[in-house]
Structure 1
Amino acid sequence: MRSVPEWLRPSLWGLAIRSALVAGAVVTIALALGATALLFVLDRSLLSALDDAATARAQDITTSLRSDPPADLDAQLLDTTQRITLVQVVDPAGQVVRTSDTDPGTPATDVRPPAGGPPVPGLTGRAEPGADLRITVQGARGVGGEYTVLVGASEEPVEATLATVGGLLALGGPVIALVAAVVTYKLVRRSLRSVEQIRTQVATISSTDLGERIPVPAPRDEIAALARTMNDMLARLEAGHTAQRRFVGDASHELRSPLATVTMALELADGRPELLDRELVRETLLPEVTRMHLLVDDLLLLARADERGLPLRLGDVDLDDVVDTEVHRARGETGKTVTASLAPVRIGGDRTQLERVVRNLIDNAVRFAAHAVHVEVSRRGNTAQITVSDDGPGIPQPDRARVFERFVRLDNARERDRGGSGLGLAIVAEIVSAHRGSVRIGESAQGGVQVVVTLPASSVSSAEPS
């Protein structure tokens, strides 16, 4: 089967051409319907005018017959015009006793209405071959008996008028449709010129220079709205590209340090094997490998969250048990005081991810606390709250929202042994958001940091232990 050439496929035509063709077709259909309606109304109107003229002549003759016999009728009543082409007065015997023709002939119709009744217009008849007549008949009671008055009006002027108007419409309709198509084509082309300029400018913007913007036209129309939308999209792309570059740079920087340490230790062991003892492995290699492993896990979790959202394995979680386990773990790893105040709260969520949230918050608090850390689990209506407080230096108000960004470490936390990778709070924010919760930072009663995590809570029975 032969394929259709591209120039015959409407889907491949330009928008301006398709719009012009559609406009031309719509105007043509509208003109055709309008012309049909106009010709119909005009035909009815002209025929009604013929009937009115014939009826008026018939009534005048009927009035004259009441006082004069047919032979004495005024000659003007029998005159013919462009409209009235036949007048006949028929006696009761069916003979034409007075007519506008020189030849009396036969009656134009056999219809005989009663005398004194209303006229009967619109009857068809022929005065001669090819001449259509509309005959009005009226019964008359006059001198010498009852008569029938016949008045015929020719339809030829009506047909000529309809032919003239129809011809003008047939000639003017295509011209109007063509003008509409051309005007539509030019208007669409003019509108698309601005769109093409936007497309060209966007095509010139490369991924290495996303700072360029599209000029917004002065008129506040759809084209200006498109330009503003494109500028907003470019701003988002630029922000995302900048964040991605910063993310890659920060990740490379964080991985470079443990890799350099491990590489240096292995080179030392390769040159002097006797130095590769248990102390070097425990105090240098294993901590750096563990740090690198945790960093890679954090990066993978954030990458999955960015790509398709953080996957959760939902189930019932006793939040107080999770916090109690992490508190006991922290007590065994630090000499600082870690206390807890736990109320029984059960929520629906991913236990593994919630453990990670609590662990990150407690580790951060222990890292920066001076002496003590306090963790509290409580229920507020339909929500569960985890509050982690410390007596450390605190976080300034302007930086409390920024610390949830990735690789953000404040000036007092930039030391490698205290600042971590800068991903802990970012991971907390991702996990809490995936659980439809919120996290905020405030100031504790001791002047340090207070982190409050709010999560949707489900019902809990009174038999559950603290």
Structure 2
Amino acid sequence: MAVLGRMSLRARLTLAATAMAAVGLAVGGVLLIIALDRALLSALDETARRQGEDIATLVESDRIPNPLPGFGAVVAQVIDAEGRVLASTPGGDRLTAVVAGADLEAIQAGGAIDLDGTRLGQPEPLRVVGVATQTAGEPRTVIVAVSLEEQQRSVRFATIGVFGGGLVVTIALAGLSWLVILRALRPVDRLRGGAEEITGAGGGHRLPVPAGGDELSRLAVTLNDMLGRLDAAAARQRAFVADAAHELRSPIAALRTELEVALAHPDAVDPHDTAREALVEVQRMARLVDDLLVLAHLDNPRPVRRDELVDLGELAIEVAEGVPDGAVAVRVDAGDDVFTRGHRDSLSRVLRNLLDNAVRHASSRVEVVVTTGGGRAWVTVADDGAGVRPADRERIFERFTRLDDARDRDAGGSGLGLAIAREIVVAHGGTVTVEDAAPGARFVVALPAARATIGAPESVP
């Protein structure tokens, strides 16, 4: 097993194919030799019996010649019921029968036996058969012994030919298997070579796809699709890092400028104004870092916890009460028993982000409606602002996206709120879309509804 472990895949496949072919040829050769041996013995027995029947014809006509005609047999004898030899071919024993006892009974019953040829001075073994006959009512038995030399020579030649030819065929199959496996694995070598050229820097490199549409081709296509997804993820990661660095650079630069001015002109700057403006920048930076941490958590492949029964109406009222005084009017229309199963803090962040976005762009009012229907819990957040153009209704959910000057840094934050909201909703098995509220924009959140029952609530089908 250790030797096999050190062999290449090509060598192991060739060895396996060759071994299977060798075993098959060996089994087939053995069966062929056995069949040939039995066929030759059967033919020899039939020939000997015909010779015995010819002699039996003479016996039945009571014209037994002595010596008997051989008809090609080594020895032929005619014996009576007592086992006495009545006639024999030249060279045969005229006093003692060739077989006696159990062997004689076997050939009288129609069987055939093998006999050591040295008993009759023959170098090769003999095949002995018997033919029962009678003369004037007296039972007689014709014994015919023929040589097995030709039969054994034919079997030996056949054995040499079968196993010699099998060896040649096995070697040829080994060579053919090596070439076929070499050709079959050549696309794998090309895939390996293509994989060696791919680095972590991306660049859009892809593996060569073998022709033919076989398993290797499908594997190459699957791997290329995986590489495409990895490139896309790496591109998103690089863009995310670049955007995050850019967003963090701005508050840091503003904070540094405020402090440098305060240090350079201490008499011309009010310390309280400097501290207040520095605090604004620090708070903005803290919100950005918090959003980045949330996105990093959402990018984690582990699923979001969804083991809490959340009352969306109650949650919407709670989030709306947190809107600062002096902002636009916020009205909440919360239906009864609108529940979903999820992580309460995450869903609270979704509503808070949507409500902050609506308040930021509303002219005079924001309306939050919580309903249920069709097995879904629906939350809509509508404002009466400028709205969102249809061409931008998907782009606004991308990270660090700002559509116009009205959504600049001072008014619109970092551009991560809607992206975080969508990813949290998707992680909870829901969807979030934006529609035209005429005027303004309406954000629609759909989540799986759940029943508020004692024990473990069941999801609404």
- Measured against the shorter chain, the TM-score band is 0.7 to 0.9
Equivalent residue number for residue 66 of structure 1: 60
Where do 5+ consecutive residues of structure 1 fail to align? none
Question: 1:230-286 deviations in whole A, cap 9, x for unaligned?
Answer: 43233223222221121111111111111111111122232234535333323x222
What pairs with 1:21-60 in structure 2 (closer than 5 Å)? 21-60=15-54
What pairs with 1:49-448 in structure 2 (closer than 5 Å)? 49-71=43-65, 75=69, 78-80=70-72, 84-105=73-94, 106-110=96-100, 111=103, 120-129=110-119, 130-143=123-136, 145-273=138-266, 275-282=269-276, 284-309=277-302, 311-312=304-305, 314-330=307-323, 332=325, 334-411=327-404, 413-444=406-437, 446-448=438-440
Q: Distance in 2 between matches of 1:310 and 1:123?
A: 83
Q: Which amino acid aligns with 2:111?
A: P
* Matched-pair contact (CA < 8 Å) for 2:317–2:332: no
How much does 1:311 deviate? Answer: 4.1
Check 1:379–1:313 CA distance in 2 against 1; reply closer, same or farther (3 A cut).
closer
How much does 1:315 deviate? Answer: 1.9
Q: Which of the numbers 16, 19, 39 marks the counterpart of 2:13?
A: 19
- Runs of 4+, deviation exceeding 4 Å: 111-114
How much does 1:98 deviate? Answer: 2.4
SS in 1 for 2:76: strand
SS in 1 for 2:328: coil
Residue range with higher mean Cα deviation, 60-69 or 285-294: 60-69
Question: 1:377-435 deviations in whole A, cap 9, x for unaligned?
Answer: 11224322212122223223333233222222223654223332121122112212222
Q: Which amino acid aligns with 2:63?
A: P
Where do 5+ consecutive residues of structure 2 fail to align? 455-461
Check 1:450–1:257 CA distance in 2 against 1; reply closer, same or farther (3 A cut).
same
Task: Check if 1:453 corresponds to 2:445.
Answer: yes
SS in 2 for 1:178: helix
SS in 2 for 1:136: strand
Residue range with higher mean Cα deviation, 222-231 or 17-26: 222-231
Q: Distance in 2 between matches of 1:222 and 1:314?
A: 42
TM-score by length of 1: 0.86
Residue range with higher mean Cα deviation, 354-363 or 239-248: 239-248
**Percent identity for Structure 1 against Structure 2:** 37
Equivalent residue number for residue 458 of structure 2: none
Q: Distance in 2 between matches of 1:328 and 1:85?
A: 123
* Matched-pair contact (CA < 8 Å) for 1:318–1:347: yes
Q: Which amino acid aligns with 1:197?
A: R
* Matched-pair contact (CA < 8 Å) for 1:407–1:421: yes
* Matched-pair contact (CA < 8 Å) for 2:396–2:402: yes
Check 1:225–1:347 CA distance in 2 against 1; reply closer, same or farther (3 A cut).
closer
- Aligned-pair RMSD on alpha carbons? 2.8
* Matched-pair contact (CA < 8 Å) for 2:328–2:359: no
How much does 1:223 deviate? Answer: 4.0
Q: Which amino acid aligns with 2:20?
A: V
